[in-house]
Every structure is written in structure tokens, then in C-alpha cells.
Amino acid sequence: MLLVPKHTPSLLKASRGALGLSHSVWRPKRYIQTETSRTGEILSERFCVLFMGRDEFSCLVLQELYKAQDVWKDIVITTQPDVHVGRRGSVLSISPLKILGEKLGLPVYTIPKVRREFRTWQLPPPFLLNEVQSSAPTNHLLVTASFGRILTGKMLNSFQPSRRLNVHPSLLPSYRGPAPIQHTILNNEKETGVCVIQMLKKSEGIDAGSLWACEKMPVPGNATFSSLRDDLATAGGKLLVSVLRDALSGKAVAQAQSSADKVPAAPLITAEDAAVNFNTMTASDIFRRFRAISHQKPLTTCSSDGKPLHLRELTILDPSLPSAAALSQEPGSATLLNKVLTIRCADSTVLGVSIVKPEGKSDRNAHEFWNGLRAVKQGEKFVEFGKCAPAPLSSS
């Protein structure tokens, strides 16, 4: 079986989204004293691009770049290899970027599956420097977008410093790290953005390179990971093209990032981030967590039987409704109302859950799951959830 991503962007039909977002573009000013990089010369030749990525974010950035054929003459794709996932490896997962690259007729190369082998992997032609070359051609350009691997110094040295670009979905230096979109939603940020930055070696800092340009945008109140990802990726692709046009004309200037000491970071999402605590989290907190990370780490609590339980489909309920008012004020108190699992959360808020996944089973409608609980079979109308430390379930 092949696993084709649900949200692989349609070929050359990416859009900003239907959210009507207003955007603000920032670029370094030439007179700023913290300026660190300048493209300087006017290039007579369009860029030969090595584009490294893997997911839907990468695809949307690539689509914007592909449409701007005034800035490139060649694009070569490098992405993650196909991997077998699911129970017993029965499903073949294919990189969305590989699928898009092949549709566009671009050469596609895959990196080794094993990380230690990637460290000695050689760049595809024509980007690998040979012994005769003392420096990389000025029109060779590296672009990474959600690639998921740290490039070695040797790989970076195959490109001139001002020709190593990364498209990062946050307003740097805030949210450096692998999960900026998730943490933006988790922290209930009202504003976010995307930056085109210069890539540095790992020893010099992750996502710490100079800024070529940034674009701000508001975070919609109902934003999910996928909706915000798509808006940021499309904006990032357009911003990348603008930077490259400036670079070709010798106008591009980069500015060093400010200190990251007092700004939030974006570490990997873990199972701990997906653990629901009804005593400390309001219904809004839980729903925001659901919008931010449920695509990769399903929210987990434990049922009245003490078994781990995934919360698959959620909504916030009005606590003033008579049906919700029937609940105990104790966080974790739960009942079934109108075929929806209704759970009391912190600050007297109420969460509605319509689909769950019990341990070792497939998804269940809330009423089907409720009727199978031991306490309900014994005649109880109210039970308590979350009174144990839930062990993480598989995300299948």
C-alpha cells in the first residue's frame, strides 16, 4: 500500500488561503550597522538551485519558486527516502516533495535513511565541488525548507555563505527549532511570520543565521497546524522569490538576528506535550493543543477504566447550557450528552469529545465507547477521566 499525503498541494495551484490575512514584509535597511551580508555584484546568470525539503510546507515553497522562472535556470530536489510505516511496515510513505518534484519534471535525489550515513553523503551534481574548484560558483544556491536534517559543514561549504538559504516559519529569533508552528499555536500567539535566513553550521547555531527578509501575519483564532503551515509556506515561497530577485540585481542585504535569550524556542513535540490534564487545562487550552499537535501526537488521557485513551475529535461546549451544568465541578468528571462525551475541565470549562481511540482498538464514536465502559454497564451516569498518568499510545 502506498501512503500519499492527504494535503499534498495541487500542482501549481497553491494559494494564500481563504483566511484573508493581512501581511507585513520587513527587509533589512542598507544603512543598518548590524548588517552582516550583502550580495553585491549583479549576476548575469540565473540560479542553479539545490532545493532540500520533505513535506507540504516544502511543496508550497517550491511551487512559488518554480513559478518564478526569471530567478532560476535549474532546480534539483533532494528529499527523504520512501519509508515503510504502520503495523509491520505494510504502508509505504512517500515524501510529498518527491511526488511534486516528479510531477514538475525536476530531478529528484533521496538521502540515506540512516542519519550517520547522511553525514558522509555527497551532494548531487552539479553541486559537489571537485578538487579543481577553489570556491562554489556564485549562481549555485542552496534552499532548505522543512528538510528535517542538519547539513554538514562540507555540504554548506559547497555554496558561498550568501547562497545558503532557509525558509523558516516564525519571526526569528523567536521559535528557533524544529516545531515553530506548533509552539506558536500552543502559546496562543496573536502574530507570527516567516523569514528567509542564511544557513550556518551547527556549531554556529540552529536557525541563527542573518535575516534576508521576514514577513509578519496574524494568527487566526481558529488556526490549525495545517492551515497556518500552508499560509506561512505560501508567504515564505513568495518572500524567497523576492529575495532572489534582489540577489540577482545585487540589492539583497542581510541583517544579524537579535539576541534569542528572552524569546520562546520551538523544541520537538513529545508525548508529554500531548498529555491532557483536566485539573490544570481549560477546555480552550486542550482545544488549542489539539489544533497545534494532534496531527503528529494525538492528545492522550485515561478513561474511567484507567486505560490510555486518544481524544480524536473535540469541541468546546458552553458551560452554561443545562446539559453541561449537570456535570460535577470536579475536573475530569464526565458523562454522555447528545452522543458527545462531555468532560469538566479547569476553571469550570467543558470539553466535548465525539470520537476517541481506546488502547489497542480503532476509532470509536463517543456513545459507542461510553456504552462499553465498565462503570456505565453497572448503571453509573457519571465517571471520572484523567485520574492516572496515561501511557502514550501509538499514533496509528
The domain ranges of the chain are 2-255, 271-384
Please tell me the pTM assigned to this model.
0.88
Under a CB-based contact definition with an 8 Å cutoff, are residues 264 and 187 in contact? yes
pLDDT at 28: 59
pLDDT at 26: 62
Alpha carbons 147 and 49: distance in angstroms, whole number: 15
pLDDT at 7: 47
CA distances in angstroms from 375 to 49, 323, 351, 360, 387, listed in the order given: 62, 20, 21, 20, 15
pLDDT at 70: 97
Place of cell 477546555: 283
pLDDT at 29: 45
**What b/e sequence results for 23-52 when a residue is b if at least 16 CB atoms lie within 10 Å of its CB, and e otherwise?**
eeeebbeeeeeeebbebeeebeebbbbbbb
Across 309-325, average pLDDT: 90
Across 123-138, average pLDDT: 82
Tell me the average pLDDT of the chain. Answer: 88
Alpha carbons 175 and 172: distance in angstroms, whole number: 7
User: Could you count the other beta carbons within 10 Å of the beta carbon of residue 220?
Assistant: 15
Q: Any idea what DSSP says for residue 361? A: S
Question: Has domain 271-384 been given CATH number 3.30.1360.10?
Answer: no
Specify the higher pLDDT residue, 119 or 321. 119
Q: What is the dihedral of CA 310, 311, 312, 316, to 10 degrees?
A: -170
Least reliable range by pLDDT among 179-183, 323-327, 353-357: 323-327
pLDDT at 388: 72
Flag whether pLDDT at 380 surpasses 80: yes
What kind and span of H or E run contains 168? strand 164-168
Least reliable range by pLDDT among 136-140, 180-184, 263-267, 341-345: 136-140
pLDDT at 103: 98
Those residues with Cβ within 8 angstroms of residue 43's Cβ, 6 or more apart along the chain or in another chain: 138, 139, 247, 248, 250
Model confidence pLDDT, tens digit, residues 142-163:
999 999 999 999 999 999 999 9
DSSP output for 273-337: GGB--TTT--HHHHHHHHHHHTTTS-EEEE-TTS-EEEEEEEEEE-TTSHHHHTS-SSTTEEEEE
Least reliable range by pLDDT among 12-21, 204-213, 279-288: 12-21
Flag whether pLDDT at 164 surpasses 80: yes
pLDDT at 368: 96
Backbone torsions φ then ψ of 235, nearest 5 degrees? -65, -40
pLDDT at 88: 74
Confidence label for 90 from pLDDT (cuts 50, 70 and 90): confident
**CATH number belonging to domain 2-255:** 3.40.50.170
Specify the higher pLDDT residue, 25 or 395. 25
Confidence label for 295 from pLDDT (cuts 50, 70 and 90): very high
User: Could you count the other beta carbons within 10 Å of the beta carbon of residue 74?
Assistant: 15
Flag whether pLDDT at 291 surpasses 70: yes
CA-atom Rg of the chain in angstroms: 24
Alpha carbons 75 and 237: distance in angstroms, whole number: 14
Confidence label for 8 from pLDDT (cuts 50, 70 and 90): very low
pLDDT at 1: 47
Specify the higher pLDDT residue, 39 or 98. 98
CA distances in angstroms from 224 to 54, 227, 306, 328, listed in the order given: 20, 5, 30, 31
pLDDT at 31: 29
Smallest CA-to-CA distance from 198 within 90, 38, 80, 309 is with 38
Beta bridge partners of residue 192, listed in sequence order: 217
Confidence label for 19 from pLDDT (cuts 50, 70 and 90): very low
Percent of the chain with pLDDT over 90: 73
pLDDT at 129: 79
Confidence label for 23 from pLDDT (cuts 50, 70 and 90): low
Smallest CA-to-CA distance from 47 within 169, 147, 136, 124 is with 136
